[in-house]
Amino acid sequence: MCLWHSERRGSRNPSPSEAKIYKIFFMTQQPMLISWSFPEFVVPERSRNWYIVAILIGVLFLLYAVLTANFLFGLIIIISALIMFLQAHKEAAQVEFAILENGVVVGDKFFDFKSLKNFYLIYEPPRIKNLYLEFDSWWRPRLTIPLEDINPVKVRQILLKFLSEDLTKQTEPLSEALNKKLKI
């Protein structure tokens, strides 16, 4: 019987993202220490005034691009506006996350602990409940994993067996704070 089935007959089939985690689990043959799912992204609540200001800024940038004959900048503004519009109207998919004995799985990607430098937790409910994983290489962005309703102490205890904790980080990264503040 598969891992995602209960002992009862008629249990549900796994979601596609759960199936990917189990596929990675079977490929690595490592026990899953903890797992949970989280939304792929959070669409901030934006007021009517936010949209008015955003459109005004976008039009001003487009006007500047035309006046300075910087059409590439204008194209970037149009593409950015289109992406923001599409993302605001898109349903966020659930992403599965799991910690195994030799690495972590995020969605359908596996990251070996050897490729990770450290981790840190920022837990200030209800505003911030995140696990941050930093890579050894400087060019790879940090992974932000929302903890949802998972006990951060348990996650910390598990990760300390494999990674060092960066205790110097006490607040959420500036880029994430700005994104929340500007509702981007």
SS3 68: coil
**Domain co-membership, 56 together with 120:** no
The pLDDT of residue 6 is: 37
DSSP helix/strand/coil, 89: coil
Asked if residue 111 and residue 27 are part of one domain, the reply reads: yes
> Which pLDDT belongs to residue 184?
77
Would you say residue 161 lies in a domain? yes
User: Tell me, what's the pLDDT at 19?
Assistant: 65
Range of the domain at 67: 48-88
**Is 152 part of any domain?**
yes
CA angle 36/119/127 to nearest 5° reads 60
What distance in Å separates the CA atoms of residue 147 and residue 99, rounded to the nearest whole number?
Answer: 13
Residue 26 shares a structural domain with residue 98: yes
Per-residue pLDDT for 4 more than 50? no
118: in domain: yes
Question: Would you tell me the crossing angle of helices 48-67 and 71-88 to the nearest 10 degrees?
Answer: 160
Greatest pairwise CA separation for the chain in angstroms: 69
Task: Report how many domains make up the chain.
Answer: 2
Residue 147 lies in a domain: yes
Looking at the structure, tell me whether residues 83 and 138 fall in a common domain. no
Q: Amino acid letter at 47?
A: S
Amino acid at 149: D
> Do residues 103 and 27 share a domain?
yes
Backbone angles phi, psi at 173, to 5 degrees: -55, 150
Query: Would the pLDDT of 65 be above 90?
Result: yes
Same domain, 108 and 148: yes
Same domain, 36 and 116: yes
pTM exceeding 0.85: no
Three-state DSSP state, 99: strand
> In the predicted model, what is the mean pLDDT of the chain?
84
165 falls within a domain: yes
Contact 38, 148 (CB under 8 A): yes
Reported as a pLDDT band with limits 50, 70 and 90, residue 8 is: very low
46: pLDDT confidence band, cut at 50, 70 and 90? confident
pLDDT of 127 reads 84
| One domain, residues 116 and 142 | yes
